């Protein structure tokens, strides 16, 4: 659990330092994966696994929505 916590802190720092939006999105996605792993490791029951799966799916959908929105904005800027 400590290693995953260190990964979360490092990715949070890299997210703050990153200049590119796409790069930030990658770091935020890693944080989402790590948080779902922490949920499974901390709550070692079937309910913990269900919570981790739910969090993982929700974070994946939100990161995909953000990436899609950024892609559309960039395409609109290029077209104009």
Length of the chain measured in residues? 80
What is the Cα–Cα distance from 73 to 71, expressed in whole angstroms?
5
Tokens at residue 67, please? 């990436």
pLDDT at 63: 76
73, 33 contact by CB (below 8 A):
no
pLDDT in tens, the chain (80 residues): 788 889 899 999 999 998 877 788 788 888 888 888 888 888 888 888 888 888 888 888 887 887 787 777 766 666 65
pLDDT at 76: 66
What is the Cα–Cα distance from 1 to 40, expressed in whole angstroms?
10
pLDDT at 49: 84
Domain that holds residue 52: 2-79
Number of domains in the chain: 1
């Amino acid at each position: 659990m400590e290693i995953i916590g260190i990964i979360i802190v490092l990715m949070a720092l890299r997210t703050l330092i990153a200049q590119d939006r796409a790069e930030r999105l990658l770091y935020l996605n890693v944080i989402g994966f790590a948080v779902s792993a922490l949920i499974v490791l901390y709550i070692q029951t079937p309910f913990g696994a269900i919570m981790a799966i739910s969090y993982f799916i929700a974070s994946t959908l939100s990161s995909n929505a953000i990436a899609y929105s950024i892609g559309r904005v960039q395409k609109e800027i290029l077209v104009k």
